[in-house]
Structure 1
Amino acid sequence: MTKPRLSVLDQTPVGEDHTADQALRASVDLARAAEDLGYTRYWAAEHHGSPGFASSAPEILAGALLAHTSRMRIGTGGVLLPRYDPVKVAEVFGVLASLHPGRVDLGIGRAGGPARDFPQRLAELRTLLDAGGVVPHPPVPPHLWLLGAGRESARLAGLLGTEFAFGHFFSPTGGAEAFDDYRSRFRRTTGRSAGGALAVRVVTADSAGRAEELAQSLLLWRARKDLGQDAPLPSYETTRRHRWTGPELERAKVHRTALVSGAPEQVHAVLTALAATHGVDELIVNTLTADPSDRRRSYELLAEAFDLPKAVRETPVPAAR
C-alpha cells in the first residue's frame, strides 16, 4: 500500500489564553502553511455554543481559506445538514465553487437536529448539486462527502455514491467494518471502487515528552467537557498544576484510545498502520492545542515524517490580519 496522503480537519480551537477571533486568524494562517507543506485538503468543522471552538460558520471560514490559498482543496467537515435547508446549502457552495472551481469540498454531518429525514435531505442536496437545480450552478460542482462514525452513515454514503470519511476520533473501533459496508454499496451504486478517508486526532512535537504535555492538555479539556465543564483548552501551565479527579482520569482514559500522540516517528508508525487497517489512502488529521504555534508545529512535523511534497508558492497570498 502506498503511503497515505494527509489532510487537515480544523475545529478552530480556542486556548484559555486566546480569543475566538485570534483562533479564526490562526486557522487562516494554518491553512496557508498546510498548503505549502503539501497537505491535500483543509476542512473547517462546525460547532455551536462551545467556548473551546470558534468554528460556528464553516462555510464562511471556507470562503476565507479559499481566498488565502491557491491550490489545496478547501471545504467543510462538516456542515450539519439537519440545521439547514438543502437548497440554501447548495446555493452557498455553488457560489464558493463558482469562484474557486475544482477546489471546493462539501462535507456533511448528520448532527445538530432531528436525523429522521437526514437521508432524504442528503439525497435532495446531492440532486441539487448534480442536476443544477440552484443558481449559481458551478462548472465544477463541490465534491460531496458524508462524515460519520458508524455503519449507518457508511451505508448511506455508499447508497448515494458520495465520498465517505470515518471519524476515528469519535469512534476508534468499527471503522474497518464501516468501510466494508461503504465500499460494497458504493460499487453497486456506481460500478466503481471507493477508498474513503479516516479522520484521526493527532498531536506530535519535537520530543515525546512535549507531545505528552500537549496530549495531557487535550485530555483534560475533553474530560472536563464530558463532565459538564465546557471551556477553552487549558494551557500547559494550567494542566501541569491541575490535580486530576477520579472522574476526570476515567474520562481521559476513555479518550486516550482515540488519540494518536508521541514523537513524530511514533505517530508515523501508528498512522501508517491505521491507514492500512482501514484500507484508506488518506488521513484527515485533527489536532487540538491551546497555543496555535504548537498546533502548527505538529502539522509541520507530520509533513516531514510522511515526506509530503512541499508546494512552491508562485504568487503571494495575503495573510489574515
Structure 2
Amino acid sequence: MTKLRLSVLDQTPVGEDHTPDQALRASVDLARAAEGLGYTRYWVAEHHDSPGFASSAPEILAGTLLAHTSRMRIGTGGVLLPRYDPAKVAEVFGVLASLHPGRVDLGIGRAGGPARDFPQRLARLRALLGEGGVVPHAPVPPRMWLLGAGRESARLAGLLGTEFAFGHFFSPAGGQEAFEDYRAEFRTSTGDRPGGALAVRVVTADSAGRAEELAQSLLLWRARKDLGQDGPLPSHETTRRHRWTGAELERAKVHRTALVSGAPEQVSAVLTALAGSHGVDELIVNTLTCDPADRRRSYELLSEAFGLQDPDVRSGDPVGASGPALRGQERSRPQVWSA
C-alpha cells in the first residue's frame, strides 16, 4: 500500500499585529522547516488586494524558496493565468526550472480575469514550455498542474494531460466525482498515469482544546471575509472577546465543513479517510493561523503523525519530472479555488 504523502499550500497569511513583510519571511522560514519535516512539495498562492494574504507575486516567492531549499519541489498554487501573457509565464518558469531542474511545479488557476480563452491560454503555455518556444528552454520543464474545485476543471485537466489538484478547502463536496472524471478523460501520448492531489485546510495543535481555539480564529476571519470585512487573521484574544453575529455564525458553520481540526490523532484519521475516499496518495495541506509559530507547530505535528521523515514516505513523485504532454482543448469554463 502506498504511504500517504503530505505537501504544503502556503497563502502567506498576515496575522493581526503582523505586517506583510513579516508574513513573507515567515513563509521562507516555514518552507525551510517543511523540507526538514519531510513534506513533498511546497506551493505558494496568488492573492491580490487582500489584507489577510501577502502572496501577490508567487513566482518571486517561489524563486526565493527554491534558493533556500535543496530537495523539496517548489511551485505555485497557483498562477492566475487570465491576468498574464502565457509567454511571460513560460519565460519566468523556464528560468526557475533551468536554475532548479526537476524541482519546479507550475500550478495554474482560472481566476483573476475573463476566462473565455482559458483553455487556449493553457495550451499555448504548455506548448511554449514543452517545445522550446521561449528562452531559456529548461532541460526539465516545470510540471504543470491545473487547480480546480469542480468537475469541469477536472475534465479539462484530463483532456489536456496535466496533473490535477482539487480544492477541498474551497469546495468540500464533489471531489470524488471530479477525480473520477479526471481519470476517465486523461489523455497523454507519453504513457504517464494521471496524477492528482487533494488540497485540504487543516489546523492541529498539541491538544484538541488549543486546536479549537485556532479553528475559531480562522472561522471568524473567514466569516468576516464572506461578509465584506476582509482583514488580517484575528488573534485568539480577539476571537475570545468577539461577540458573534448571527450572520457570522452562519458563515462559520458553512466553512466548518471544509476544515479538518483537532488533536493530531484525530486529524490524521480524518485525512487518511479523505485521501482514501478520493483515491489520492497526496494531500496538500493549507493551514492559516494568526501566529506563524502556531502554523509551524501544526505542520510539525502532522509530520510526526504521518511519519513524513521516514525516507520511504517522502521519496518518489507520482509522474515523470517533465510532466505529461498537452493534448486537445475544452470549451467549458473550469472552476478554481480562491481562498
TM-score band w.r.t. shorter chain:
over 0.9
1:211-226 mapped onto 2 (5 Å cutoff): 211-226=211-226
Q: Which residue of 2 aligns with 1:93?
A: 93
Q: Tell me, in whole angstroms, the C-alpha distance in 1 between the residues paired with 2:139 and 2:80.
A: 25
Answer whether contact 2:160 2:188 (CA < 8 A) is retained. no
Q: Which residue of 2 aligns with 1:265?
A: 265
Answer whether contact 1:10 1:286 (CA < 8 A) is retained. yes
Deviation at 1:186, TM superposition (A): 1.0
Answer whether contact 2:205 2:301 (CA < 8 A) is retained. yes
Deviation at 1:188, TM superposition (A): 6.7
Q: Tell me, in whole angstroms, the C-alpha distance in 2 between the residues paired with 1:192 and 1:176.
A: 21
After superposition, what is the alpha-carbon deviation per residue over 1:135-192, rounded to whole angstroms, capped at 9, x for unaligned? 0001100000000000111111111100100000011010010001111111576654
Pairs aligned (count): 311
Q: Which residue of 1 aligns with 2:78?
A: 78
After superposition, what is the alpha-carbon deviation per residue over 1:232-268, rounded to whole angstroms, capped at 9, x for unaligned? 0000000000000000000000000000000000000
Q: Which residue of 2 aligns with 1:199?
A: 199
Q: Which residue of 2 aligns with 1:121?
A: 121
**Partner SS for 2:153:** helix
Answer whether contact 1:199 1:283 (CA < 8 A) is retained. yes
Answer whether contact 1:159 1:189 (CA < 8 A) is retained. no
Q: Tell me, in whole angstroms, the C-alpha distance in 2 between the residues paired with 1:263 and 1:167.
A: 23
Answer whether contact 2:160 2:187 (CA < 8 A) is retained. no
1:240 counterpart = 2:257: no
**Partner SS for 2:113:** coil
Deviation at 1:4, TM superposition (A): 1.1
Q: Which residue of 1 aligns with 2:291?
A: 291
Answer whether contact 1:161 1:190 (CA < 8 A) is retained. no
Q: Which residue of 1 aligns with 2:335?
A: none
After superposition, what is the alpha-carbon deviation per residue over 1:262-286, rounded to whole angstroms, capped at 9, x for unaligned? 0000000000000000000100000
Deviation at 1:310, TM superposition (A): 5.7
Q: Which residue of 1 aligns with 2:27?
A: 27
Deviation at 1:33, TM superposition (A): 0.1
After superposition, what is the alpha-carbon deviation per residue over 1:182-220, rounded to whole angstroms, capped at 9, x for unaligned? 111115766543230000000000000000000000000
Answer whether contact 2:81 2:109 (CA < 8 A) is retained. yes
Answer whether contact 1:5 1:40 (CA < 8 A) is retained. yes
Q: Per the alignment, do residues 9 and 77 of structure 1 end up closer, same or farther by CA in structure 2, a change over 3 Å counting? A: same
Answer whether contact 1:167 1:199 (CA < 8 A) is retained. yes
Answer whether contact 1:3 1:272 (CA < 8 A) is retained. no
Q: Tell me, in whole angstroms, the C-alpha distance in 2 between the residues paired with 1:9 and 1:286.
A: 5
Q: Tell me, in whole angstroms, the C-alpha distance in 1 between the residues paired with 2:275 and 2:260.
A: 13
Deviation at 1:2, TM superposition (A): 2.6
**Partner SS for 1:54:** coil
**Partner SS for 2:186:** helix
**Partner SS for 2:78:** strand
Q: Tell me, in whole angstroms, the C-alpha distance in 2 between the residues paired with 1:80 and 1:128.
A: 17
Q: Tell me, in whole angstroms, the C-alpha distance in 2 between the residues paired with 1:58 and 1:310.
A: 29
Answer whether contact 1:37 1:310 (CA < 8 A) is retained. no
| TM-score of the superposed pair, with normalisation by structure 2 | 0.90
Q: Which residue of 2 aligns with 1:229?
A: 229
Structure 1 unaligned blocks of 5 or more: 312-321
Q: Tell me, in whole angstroms, the C-alpha distance in 1 between the residues paired with 2:56 and 2:34.
A: 21
Q: Tell me, in whole angstroms, the C-alpha distance in 1 between the residues paired with 2:124 and 2:49.
A: 28
1:153-232 mapped onto 2 (5 Å cutoff): 153-187=153-187, 191-232=191-232
Q: Which residue of 2 aligns with 1:130?
A: 130
**Partner SS for 1:220:** helix
Answer whether contact 1:195 1:281 (CA < 8 A) is retained. no
Deviation at 1:17, TM superposition (A): 1.4
Q: Tell me, in whole angstroms, the C-alpha distance in 2 between the residues paired with 1:188 and 1:32.
A: 35
Q: Tell me, in whole angstroms, the C-alpha distance in 1 between the residues paired with 2:191 and 2:40.
A: 26
**Partner SS for 1:136:** coil
Q: Percent identity?
A: 88
After superposition, what is the alpha-carbon deviation per residue over 1:79-101, rounded to whole angstroms, capped at 9, x for unaligned? 00000000000000000001111
> Residue type of the partner of 2:227?
L
Q: Which residue of 2 aligns with 1:316?
A: none
Q: Tell me, in whole angstroms, the C-alpha distance in 1 between the residues paired with 2:100 and 2:193.
A: 27
